[in-house]
């Protein structure tokens, strides 16, 4: 298909935005200093995206599905969420 045969109103492939991956929007989660180290988020995360590092916790964005179960289970409101920045 080229520009002459493409249906009227359809975008050229090169100009089309990349499709957003299926599933919930990707989030960037950070563990703030209210964390008490209770471990509830580690036990809850279904994909083991919460990891210890240097005596604190961080969330591996490459594994996180954005389900927010860790945020819901955290008793200290210690997990902050923000939309993942565009590359």
In contact, 19 and 43? CB cutoff 8 Å: no
> Which C-beta is closer to ligand SF4: that of 40 or that of 84?
40
In degrees rounded to 5, what are phi and psi of residue 16? -75, 140
- Least CB distance from residue 51 to ligand SF4, whole Å? 9
- Least CB distance from residue 18 to ligand SF4, whole Å? 22
> Which C-beta is closer to ligand SF4: that of 76 or that of 84?
76
Write the CB contacts of 33 (distance below 8 Å, at least 6 apart in sequence): 78
- Least CB distance from residue 53 to ligand SF4, whole Å? 13
Separation between Cα atoms, residue 60 and residue 72, nearest integer Å? 18
> Which C-beta is closer to ligand SF4: that of 12 or that of 61?
61
């Amino acid at each position: 298909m080229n520009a002459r045969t493409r249906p009227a109103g359809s975008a050229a492939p090169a100009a089309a935005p990349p499709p957003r991956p299926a599933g919930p929007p990707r989030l960037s989660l950070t563990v703030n200093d209210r964390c008490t180290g209770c471990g509830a988020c580690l036990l809850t995360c279904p994909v083991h995206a919460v990891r210890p590092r240097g005596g604190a916790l961080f969330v591996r964005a490459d594994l996180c599905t954005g389900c927010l179960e860790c945020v819901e289970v955290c008793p200290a409101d210690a997990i902050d969420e923000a939309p993942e920045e565009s590359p």
